[in-house]
């Protein structure tokens, strides 16, 4: 146990000291997070020291890329009362933010920390105040003393923890109550103390680093596939189990949070435990302890196949769940081609695969065949070093967003359904007639073949509806560098002509000007001249496989389109798309779909139709 803790500690220290990537400018500052600072403005500290708290916050924000799609900051001050200084939505540029921080006036009073935490829990992360779904939610509490009502503080803190909000507690000076800091923080690693206000700057990097490592609140279905082949040996197999425990230890495991499953491959595939048995940290650890080393051949493909056919086949439809497999292997399977095939099948079903290669003999080609992309390959030279890379794997888990809405595969075949099984087209789509515009990405990243799959999806979609001026109407445009209208709502008056036109849309190539596409939709497509009807529900379905060339402009135009009364549904294809952008474009967080490739588009057809035709209410 001591060895284990020491290893953990060393890994933690090694990661913090040797990994400067978080400190300035690289990937973390762009990782979206909603951060609320809770500042103690009680009388014990005095005006000058309060100013140092403000400096600390100011310095902190300089390390992040501030904006509506990256990091948002709010500040709440408490003493006898609680005051919201500014909300997440208020400071969308570094300069306004720093200005607002410097204008904060010291409250001066008692220390009602619990009231502040309750306030934050109820208000700060609400949508109206700028809170976003599926981003890391962080509360950083600075205090210089014990609170007036410790019990209430503890209850309030627990509410935050229960809502998957990460809480970091910083104690300043000798009056702080270390036990209370521990109850406030979401775990003991998130407690920091400094001897006085002047020493605050010494923990600047630690706080930045801690914040960067926090996971977003998107639940995961996370399956581990362990290598139980003879080349590993019982002791080495133990390191794999330990690695899985370290990773799990960093995640929020629970019924409505992340669930864990485990399978081991050797000569066959052994189910260790399913997602239904991996829903609390204690059960997961207990179940991992009970996994035994099978010792046998290296039939990696059987393990991957098991994950596809059983482990992930039983997934329930949980909104917004990521499906991820972490595959540990020495990278030398007996059946290289079958391994590749089964990995491809698993990935095509919407599971993101991370490959962890163990030992000097790993074959990179095989790891790359298994993983969802080169950046999802992680290697260690020796099994005993697995603990050193668990942070890296946790980062990949936390930063990846593969599937926001479960696409349950009812068939493993990717061939098109025969047209004879196409159900009768529906007269009505929702409570009112619908005007449905498709915005089709025609950028060079996808190629003509994939573009044909995209139009195939749209044409199948159109085939499911009565299309005429009394019922539903469809319009389509393509976007690359330029926007091209394919046909307006009033160009064709029946389904046959519409599907024919869809199949004839030409692939253009070059650029992803999503912003102009939205603008065009608002100013051209959804106008009376072009057939848009006042009595219809207006829906825009955007399908894209890449990041737009100007995210800020895209989100601005998406917002204008939504404000003009159009419901936006976004569909991302492949792992190249920017999930955050997809979510920000859509009218609701569950109006986002994501599939791993163009072939898989057909698997979401039914859900896209249901979403399109649901009652969007007073949404605008
Ligand atoms: C606070 O909680 C402790 C332990 O749970 C309890 O003994 C104590 O009476 C409580 N204090 C107040 C003021 O409620
Ligand atoms: C803030 O940054 C300035 C300039 O780097 C530094 O002098 C100061 O100590 C920092 N203050 C805190 C509280 O981190
Ligand atoms: C999980 O979510 C469901 C539905 O929102 C809720 O009824 C249930 O209490 C939640 N369970 C936990 C442990 O939070
Ligand atoms: C694996 O696939 C490659 C290329 O498709 C082929 O050349 C090779 O013969 C296959 N190996 C086996 C053992 O089937
Ligand atoms: C909606 O308006 C169009 C003309 O703009 C009309 O032809 C159609 O009958 C109307 N539909 C309903 C259900 O009111």
The answer to whether the CB of 397 falls within 8 A of the CB of 215 is yes
Substitution candidate for ligand 5 out of 468, 488, 533 with most atoms within 8 A of CB: 533
- Please say if the pLDDT value at position 8 is more than 50: no
* CA 337 / ligand 4 centre spacing (Å): 6
Assign 596 a pLDDT band (cuts: 50, 70, 90): confident
Q: Which atom of ligand 2 is nearest to the CA of 204?
A: 14
Supply the residue whose CA is at minimum distance from atom 9 of ligand 2: 201
Q: Which two tokens stand for residue 55?
A: 């400096």
Is the CB of 470 inside a 6 Å radius of any atom of ligand 5?
A: yes
Ligand 5 pocket test target in 434, 470, 536 with most atoms within 8 Å of CB: 470
- What pLDDT does residue 416 have? 33
Ligand 2, atom 7, lies closest to the CA of 201
Q: Please state, in angstroms and as integers, the Cα–Cα distance from residue 223 to each residue in 226, 325, 353, 354, 489, following that order.
A: 10, 5, 10, 10, 46
- Measured between alpha carbons, how far is 533 from 490 in angstroms, rounded to an integer? 10
- 469 C-beta closer than 6 A to ligand 5: yes
Ligand 1 mean position, distance from CA 150 (Å): 8
Give the closest residue (by CA) to ligand 2 atom 13.
56
Q: Are 425 and 45 in contact (CB under 8 A)?
A: no
pLDDT at position 46 over 80: yes
For 71-120, the pLDDT digits (tens) are 899 999 999 999 999 999 997 888 899 999 999 999 999 999 999 999 99
Domains with residue ranges and CATH for the chain: 3-207 (3.40.50.410), 220-399 (3.40.50.410), 434-619 (3.40.50.410)
Helices (H) and strands (E) in the chain, counts: 19, 18
Pairing of strands 537-544, 434-441: parallel
Span from the CA of 161 to the centroid of ligand 1 (angstroms):
20
CB 603 within 8 A of CB 595: yes
Between 133 and 352, where is the model more confident?
A: 352
Phi and psi for 517 in degrees, rounded to 5? Answer: -65, -45
- Helix (H/G/I), strand (E/B), else coil: 184: helix
618 pLDDT band, cuts 50/70/90, is low
What is the mean pLDDT of the segment spanning 312-334? 79
User: Nearest CA to 276 among 311, 241, 328?
Assistant: 311
DSSP letter string, 244-298: HHHHHHTS-BSTTSBEEEEEEESSSEEEEE-GGG-SSHHHHHHHHHT-----B--
More confident residue, 79 or 162: 79
DSSP sequence for 341-388: HHHHHHHHTT-EEEEEEESTT--HHHHHHHSSSGGGEEEESSGGGHHH
Question: Distance, CA 254 to ligand 3 centroid (Å)?
Answer: 10
CA distances for 44 relative to 108, 141, 169, 183, angstroms: 8, 16, 18, 22
Give bridge partners of residue 253 from the DSSP assignment: 258
Strand order in the sheet with 136-143: 82-86, 71-78, 33-40, 136-143, 166-172, 191-194
**CA 200, CA 195: separation in Å to the nearest integer?**
8
Q: Assign 521 a pLDDT band (cuts: 50, 70, 90).
A: very high
Residue 32 pLDDT > 70, yes or no? yes
User: Ligand 2: distance of its center to the CA of 56 in Å?
Assistant: 7
- CB of 342 closer than 8 Å to CB of 372: no
CA of 188 relative to ligand 1 center, distance in Å: 22
- Residue 26 predicted with pLDDT over 50: no
Instruction: Decide whether any atom of ligand 2 lies within 6 Å of the 55 Cβ.
Output: yes
pTM of the model: 0.53
- Considering only residues 18 and 378, tell me which one the structure prediction assigns the higher pLDDT: 378
Is it the case that residue 140 has pLDDT exceeding 60?
Answer: yes
pLDDT of residue 29: 63
Tokens representing 333 are: 């399977």
**Cα 471 to ligand 5 centre (Å):** 8
* Proximal ligand: closest to the CA of 149: 1
Residue 137, beta-bridge partner list: 34
Q: Looking at the CA of 253, which ligand is closest?
A: 3
pLDDT tens digit sequence for 429-450: 778 899 999 999 887 666 778 8
| Alpha carbons 6 and 291: distance in angstroms, whole number | 24
Q: Across 105-172, where does the E strand assignment appear?
A: 136-143, 166-172
Q: Is the CB of 431 under 6 A from ligand 5?
A: no
Cα-to-centroid distance, 179 and ligand 1 (Å): 14
Tell whether the model's pLDDT for residue 12 goes beyond 80: no
Q: If pLDDT is split at 50, 70 and 90, which confidence band does 576 have?
A: low
Smallest-distance ligand from the CA of 155: 1
In the predicted model, what is the mean pLDDT of the chain?
A: 84
Q: Tell me the β-bridge partners of 180.
A: none
User: What φ, ψ does residue 492 adopt, rounded to 5°?
Assistant: -120, 150
Residue 11's pLDDT band, with cuts at 50, 70 and 90, is very low
Taking residues 256-266, what's their average pLDDT? 92
307-321 pLDDT, tens digit each: 999 998 866 655 557
The protein residue with its alpha carbon nearest to ligand 2, atom 8, reads: 201
Q: How many residues does the chain have?
A: 620
Tokens describing residue 328: 């540990």
Give the distance (Å) from ligand 4 centre to CA of residue 338.
9
Instruction: Please write the tens of the pLDDT for every residue from 281-310.
Output: 899 999 999 999 998 888 999 999 999 999
Q: Quote the pLDDT of residue 549.
A: 79
Question: Mind listing the pLDDT tens digit for each residue in 386-415?
Answer: 999 998 898 888 766 544 333 333 333 333
Give the pLDDT of residue 241. Answer: 96
pLDDT at 284: 96
pLDDT, mean of residues 252-277: 91
Query: Which atom of ligand 5 is nearest the CA belonging to 533?
Result: 5
Q: Whose CA is nearest to atom 4 of ligand 3?
A: 256
Stronger pLDDT, 6 or 308, i.e. the higher one = 308
- Reported as half-sphere exposure (CB side, CA atoms, 13 A), residue 571 has a value of 28
Among the bound ligands, the one closest to the CA of 336: 4
**Facing residues of 271 across strands?**
263
What's 473-492 look like in SS3? EEEEEEECCCEEEEECCCCC
- What is the band of 577 on the pLDDT scale with cuts at 50, 70, 90? low
Does the CB atom of residue 200 touch ligand 2 within 6 A? Answer: yes
- For strands 473-479 and 483-487, give the pairing: antiparallel
- Say how far apart CA 542 and CA 538 lie, in whole Å: 13
Ligand 2 neighbour 62 (Cβ under 6 A): no
C-alpha dist (Å) from residue 524 to 175, 300, 483, 498, 561: 64, 53, 11, 19, 11
| Tokens matching residue 186 | 């979401």
Distance from the alpha carbon of residue 531 to the mean position of ligand 5, in angstroms: 11
* Residue 143 clears pLDDT 90, i.e. is over it: yes
Atom of ligand 3 nearest to the CA of 162: 14
Angle at Cα 511 formed by Cα 600 and Cα 478, nearest 5°?
Answer: 60
Say what percent of the chain tops pLDDT 90: 52
Cα–Cα nearest to 355, from 333, 376, 381? 376
Residues 499 and 462: beta-carbon distance below 8 Å: yes
Given a cut of 70, whether residue 619 has pLDDT beyond it is no
- How close are the terminal C-alpha atoms of the chain, in Å? 57
Nearest to 536, CA basis, from 475, 447, 469, 482:
469
Instruction: Select the more confidently predicted residue: 16 or 262.
Output: 262
Round to whole Å and give the CA distance between 89 and 67: 9
pLDDT digits (tens, 9 = 90+) for 416-428: 333 333 456 777 7
Q: Calculate mean pLDDT across residues 51-59.
A: 95
* Ligand 3, atom 13: closest residue by C-alpha: 255
Nearest to 275 by CA among 250, 294, 248: 248
Q: What pLDDT sits at residue 314?
A: 67
Residue 254 Cα: closest atom of ligand 3:
13
CB-based pocket (< 6 A), ligand 3: 254-256
- The closest of 513, 521, 438, 523 to 482, measured between CA atoms, is 513
**Residue 256 CA: which ligand 3 atom is closest?**
1
Mutation pick for ligand 2 pocket among 98, 201, 205 (CB with most ligand atoms within 8 Å)? 201
Ligand 2 neighbour 56 (Cβ under 6 A): yes
Q: Is 359 left (phi over 0), alpha (psi -120 to 50) or beta?
A: left
| Protein residue with least CA distance to atom 14, ligand 5 | 535
- Of 12 and 256, the structure prediction assigns the larger pLDDT to 256
């Amino acid at each position: 146990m001591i060895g284990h803790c020491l290893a953990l500690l060393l890994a933690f220290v090694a990661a913090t000291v040797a990994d400067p990537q978080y400190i300035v400018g690289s990937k973390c500052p762009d990782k979206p997070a909603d951060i609320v600072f809770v500042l103690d403005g009680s009388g014990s500290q005095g005006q000058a020291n309060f100013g140092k708290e403000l400096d600390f916050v100011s310095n902190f924000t300089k390390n992040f890329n501030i904006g509506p799609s990256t990091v948002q900051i709010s500040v709440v001050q408490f003493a006898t009362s609680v005051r919201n200084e500014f909300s997440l939505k208020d400071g969308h540029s570094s300069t306004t933010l720093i200005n607002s921080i410097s204008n904060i006036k010291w409250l001066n009073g008692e220390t009602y920390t619990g009231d502040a935490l309750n306030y934050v829990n109820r208000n700060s992360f609400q949508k109206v105040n700028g809170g976003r779904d599926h981003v890391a939610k962080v509360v950083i509490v600075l205090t210089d003393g014990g609170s007036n009502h410790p019990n209430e503080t503890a209850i309030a803190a627990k509410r935050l923890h229960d809502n998957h909000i990460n809480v970091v507690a910083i104690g300043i000076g000798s009056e702080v109550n270390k036990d209370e800091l521990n109850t406030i923080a979401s775990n003991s690693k998130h407690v920091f103390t400094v001897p006085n206000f002047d020493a605050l700057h010494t923990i600047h990097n630690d706080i930045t680093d801690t914040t960067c490592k926090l996971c977003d609140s998107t639940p995961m279905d996370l399956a581990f596939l362990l290598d139980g082949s003879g080349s590993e040996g019982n002791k080495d197999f133990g390191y794999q189990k330990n690695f899985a425990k370290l990773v799990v230890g960093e995640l929020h495991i629970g019924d409505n949070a992340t669930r864990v499953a485990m399978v081991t491959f050797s000569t066959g595939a052994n189910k260790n435990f399913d997602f239904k048995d991996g829903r609390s940290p204690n059960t997961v650890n207990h179940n991992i302890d009970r996994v035994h080393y099978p010792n046998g051949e290296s039939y990696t493909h059987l393990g991957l196949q098991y994950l596809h056919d059983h482990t992930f086949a039983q997934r329930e439809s949980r909104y917004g769940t990521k499906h991820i497999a972490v595959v540990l292997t020495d990278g030398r399977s007996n059946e290289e081609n079958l391994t590749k095939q089964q990995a491809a099948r698993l990935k095509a079903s919407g599971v993101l695969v991370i490959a962890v290669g163990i030992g000097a003999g790993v074959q990179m080609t095989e790891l790359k065949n298994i993983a969802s992309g080169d950046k999802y390959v992680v290697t260690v030279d020796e099994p005993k070093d697995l603990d050193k890379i668990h942070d890296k794997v946790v980062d990949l888990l936390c930063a990846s967003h593969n599937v926001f809405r479960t696409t349950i595969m009812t068939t493993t075949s990717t061939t098109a359904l025969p047209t004879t099984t196409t159900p009768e087209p529906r007269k009505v789509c929702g409570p009112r007639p619908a005007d449905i515009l498709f915005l089709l990405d025609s950028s060079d990243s996808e190629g003509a073949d994939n573009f044909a799959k995209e139009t195939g999806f749209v044409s199948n979609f159109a085939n499911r509806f009565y299309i005429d001026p009394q019922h539903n109407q469809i319009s389509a445009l393509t976007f690359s560098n330029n926007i091209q209208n394919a046909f307006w709502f009033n160009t064709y008056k029946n389904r046959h002509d519409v599907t024919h036109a869809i199949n004839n849309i030409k692939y253009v190539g070059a650029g992803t000007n999503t912003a102009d596409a939205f603008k065009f939709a608002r100013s051209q497509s959804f106008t009376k001249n072009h057939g848009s009807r006042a009595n219809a529900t207006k829906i825009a379905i955007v399908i894209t496989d890449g990041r737009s060339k100007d995210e800020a402009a895209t989100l601005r135009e998406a917002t204008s389109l939504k404000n003009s009364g159009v419901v936006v549904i976004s569909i991302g294809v492949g792992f190249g798309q920017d999930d955050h952008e997809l979510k920000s474009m859509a009218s609701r967080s569950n109006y986002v779909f994501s599939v791993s490739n163009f072939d898989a588009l057909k698997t979401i057809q039914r859900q896209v139709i249901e979403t399109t035709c649901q009652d969007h209410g007073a949404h605008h």
